[in-house]
A and B are shown apart, each in its own frame.
Chain A
Amino acid sequence: MLLSALIFLPVLFGLAVLALPKQLVRPVSLALSLVHFIASLLLFRNFDPTSAGLQLVEQKPWMPDIGITYFLGLDGISFWLVILTTFLTPLVILGSWKSIDHKIKGFHSALFFLTATMVGSFLALDGILFYIFFEASLIPMYFMIGIWGGARRLYATVKFFIYTMFGSLFMLVAIVALMFMAEQQLGQMSSSLLDWYKLEIPFVGGELLSTQTLLMFAFALAFAIKVPMFPFHTWLPDAHVEAPTPGSVILAAVMLKMGTYGFLRFVLPMFPEAVDYWTWLFIFLGVVGIVYGALVAMVQPDIKKLVAYSSVSHMGYVIVGLFAMNAFGTTGGLYQMLNHGVSTGALFLLVGMIYERTHSREVNAYGGLAKVAPWYTIIFLIVTMSSIAVPMTNGFVGEFLILLGLFKAHPIFAIIATTGVVLGATYMLWMVKRVFFGPESAMVKEHAAHGGMDLNWREKLVMAPLVTLIFWMGLFPNHFLNYSKSSIDHLLENRMHYQLQVDNSSSPLKVVDQRGVN
């Protein structure tokens, strides 16, 4: 019941918010999102990190005729992503206290619906259920960018929606094909992931039209657009620049992870032969993304766009890590997903905070910010360190593990990817230099004259947990990795014949019963 509660609590909250009087919307939403976060902390009590199986499983027939079930479960792969989602919602609400000034009911309602669909897609273990959450998450984000976004918001939001939808519809066709394959091989239509893992999907190496290759690419396209991998990334800068700060934070920190999570949950275990054959392609595109994203970020005049392109670069690391397919690489990839969520989320929040004061995101318009906003500068520097992977911060652990794993698997690619680290440091530090140091620019002087340039207590409160996490995750990675270790080891060891067991007390029997009856 806990997992269902995590999905449906925010739905209820989203409806409840609509009924509130206007002045209560913000505090109540904050309280409700904290309730949701605390509820998600109950997962720590019920989750057994030593097991690689699925835990807290809930399975109920939904459309028995065609084998669709309401099937939720948690394992080491999805565990931290769920916590990340619930953790960011209160921060985003607190962070947008001032910046969202119209239609606040609709905004908070959309935010809660978005949270519900994101948690749902991390927990769903039924292909159709996953697809529904995956697609439904577009609707609140569409409204978020379109209503509260910047000047070109309409263009950006439509591009975002159609681009993402285009990829996932091919995934739908592949899902249908897998359901019929389950009927042929297992005697019954099924969209349960556990059944899909059992399928023997025909594969002929080198043949583009062999079944497994086609299915793999249908899934990979949907996730590659979501991640986004080079060359499917063009929607991302538009969406990020036009989205309001909270939208950017959620988009970068969680929604992009739905893509990489999809690779880890669907593509790697379900199509092992095809993945083996095409690994080079994914690694190649990942590495190109790392370098290309960094180079383009370097020349951006707009801070937010710079951060957006740095996302392309960082997500490239995640992809190469996952496809390095060894313990270091894949663990690093998973860790980097969380790191990116924390550090890029923090960067977008910081950019939003200064934008609220000066209404400018032009790098050139700034200068000498360090003198007038010391707290802001210190926190921005810490987050920058995390983003460029300085040791002791979380970014270092992730990138180091990824490069280590990649070096073991594909040394040449690893060398190229390493240049991305240097380029990353270059564009971030160059931007920091121009924005924070040097003489104060006219704009900064003008705004500093009114005072209030530095962070207020609310903004410090938003950043405090993120900064804490940056160091915590950098100094004690095992506190986090322990929860995912057994699942990742299990995935890598049994990749060619991946199976997931359902753990925990009564659920396995129930599952067998339902399948038998239908």
Chain B
Amino acid sequence: MEISFSFRWVDVLLLMPVVVLAVSSMVPLLIKVMSGGREPNSFATMCYGLAGVIAAAGWLISMEGTRRVAFDGALVFDGLSTLIGLAIVFAAGVALVFSRENFATNTDQFSEHVFLMLNAAAGMLLVSWANDLIFFFIGIELMSLCLYVLIAISGESRLSKEAAFKYFLLGSFASAILLYGVAFVFGTAGSTNLQVIAEQSQDLISSNRLFLLGLIFLVVGIAFKVSIFPLHAWTPDVYQGAPTPVTGFMATGAKAATFVLFLRLVMTSAFAADQANRLIEIIQWMAALTILAGNIAAVMQTSVKRMLAYSSVAHSGYIMIGLIVASIGGEQLGGSSSVIFYLVAYTLMTIGAFGVLSLLEKDEDSQIHVEDLRGLAKRSPWMALCLTVLLLSLAGIPPMVGFFGKFFIFSAAVKAGLYWLAVWGVIGSVVSVYYYLRPIMQMYMRDEVGAEVCGDRYLSIGAVSVAAIAVVVVGLFSSPLYQAVLNALRGPT
């Protein structure tokens, strides 16, 4: 086997969003070093970060319609890359705004925070574009390393250190297993390129046990990153310990990126072969148990952040249903479009919900419990309304966008004949309504005094408002988004 490498400048143009993010992430650090280690004005720092994010978003939008691979097929630029790329940089931008106005993140290390956040976003972009397992691994590591440190440098003193350490240890294990899987796949298929693997996968999976083993390791590694049962146990602790803006960013960006890669992997048709039936069956059970575990555990939480963490586990389960449909062939377009639609919807509503939490935290150590939301509707009616809309959307109540996300997932499952998963998801949704209603109940139906929204955090309030309004508007007019998702997927991948 011969390894050749050719370099074309046009590939660098395609990679520009990542380059822009990486370069602009240096600016705040450089300024800090130049001014002798003193922390510069946090507003300016945030603006440098936002400039990078906006430039990357602009570049992504201008790439609309591109259909090509770069770096010898290692990265793929199609509609999907653009769409999910936009979702990731949106999450990064919003999370930056929240970070500036949160006590746990706006510390004397805010420059470093912005640097890490932009690099994590760059890693996520790489993951979502990866067409090659090595690039995927590099992206995942870039993203994860930044996140470990982001959690650790939080101003919060106790939980965040524990969370960072836990995430680091377990995440390293998962990465090792993932890499082990990549090695097996490379050893048997002779390539790390997804297209090349796809061509041989049907044969290999029936003839070569090691290839199957490699696939299983890959699935395990990915399942850890997107918190699928039984690899979800880290999620609540890490989500709770991380500063809220970072939690929001992790829950949306990292999940979206990893799920897109998962989608690209299952669409190699390796999983459609007869020999993979068992594997698919196990994945189905994992999805079902994820929904169950996430929802049941969320019911019992008193901390809003932990509740949202478990609920995000449950949402991973719903997305898995769409992925399974995409993997078993026959209904690939239906399954994959539902996954992408759900990811975009999920990004909007989850980042908004964490944003409201971030607004309520009055110092770096504050933990918001459901009880703290008492009477919020009276003190800040607009934020209470936004959180209500976001939570109802997460619960999948029409006409919010979350309903359409679930609708597309369940309809894909019904169409593929996976009725039991659809019904299971439905039952999970009913359970989830219970815990999503609890904060709403506290906000509107109790009058006692609880946490306050700090009034001067205008940017965060604006960002939350954008998310809440988008959840309603995209819900009522979901056709254009669904159309965009379909267009993104119909192109040659």
Contacts and interface: CB of A to CB of B under 8 A. Distances in A.
Contacts of B392: 139
A63 B479 contact: yes
Interface stretch (A173-181, A391-399, A494-502): A173-181
Interface in A145-162: 146-147, 153-154, 157-158, 161-162
B453 interface: no
B415 A169 contact: no
Contacts of B445: 146-147, 153-154, 157
B444 A161 contact: no
B423 A173 contact: yes
A133 to B, nearest CB: 8
A136 B434 CA distance: 16
A426 B242 CA distance: 64
Given A173-B414, A180-B414, A162 B433 contact: yes
B483 interface: yes
A381 interface: no
A165 B433 contact: yes
Contacts of A165: 397, 430, 433
A177 B422 CA distance: 11
Given A146-B445, A147-B444, A158-B434, A138 B397 contact: yes
A317 interface: no
Contact of A65 (B399, B441, B483): B483
Given A136-B397, A139-B392, A162 B434 contact: yes
B109 interface: no
Contacts of B444: 143, 146-147
Interface string B62-76: 000000000000000
Given A172-B410, A176-B410, A64 B426 contact: no
A146 B399 CA distance: 21
Interface range, A side: 20 to 34
Contacts of B483: 65
Contacts of B441: 146, 154, 157-158
A195 interface: no
A166 B429 CA distance: 9
B482 interface: yes
B398 interface: yes
A135 interface: yes
B399 A136 contact: yes
Interface string B403-437: 10001001100110001001100110110011001
Describe B's contact surface by its main secondary structure: helix
B407 A172 contact: yes
Nearest to A63: B479
A62 interface: yes
Contact of B479 (A64, A143, A146, A169): A64
A453 to B, nearest CB: 31
A314 B411 CA distance: 37
A118 to B, nearest CB: 15
Interface in A182-202: none
Given A138-B397, A173-B423, A63 B482 contact: yes
A162 B433 CA distance: 7
B478 interface: yes
Given A65-B483, A173-B422, A142 B407 contact: no
A15 interface: no
Nearest to A153: B445
A30 interface: no
B336 to A, nearest CB: 14
B398 A135 contact: yes
Interface range, B side: 20 to 34
B308 interface: no
A132 interface: yes
Contacts of B419: 173
A47 interface: no
A282 B397 CA distance: 29
A161 B482 CA distance: 29
Nearest to B486: A65
A170 interface: yes
B397 A135 contact: yes
A355 interface: no
A203 interface: no
B429 A176 contact: no
A143 B445 CA distance: 8
A472 interface: no
Given A62-B479, A146-B444, A169-B429, A136 B414 contact: no
A166 B478 contact: no
B401 to A, nearest CB: 12
B426 to A, nearest CB: 4
A165 B482 CA distance: 25
Contacts of B434: 158, 162
Interface in B434-467: 434, 437, 441, 444-445
A64 B437 CA distance: 33
B444 to A, nearest CB: 6
Contacts of A166: 430
14 contacts: A65-B483, A65-B486, A135-B403, A136-B397, A139-B392, A139-B397, A154-B441, A161-B433, A162-B430, A165-B397, A169-B427, A172-B407, A173-B414, A176-B411
Interface of B: 392, 397-399, 403, 407, 410-411, 414-415, 419, 422-423, 426-427, 429-430, 433-434, 437, 441, 444-445, 478-479, 482-483, 486
Interface of A: 62-66, 128, 131-132, 135-136, 138-139, 142-143, 146-147, 153-154, 157-158, 161-162, 165-166, 169-170, 172-173, 176-177, 179-180
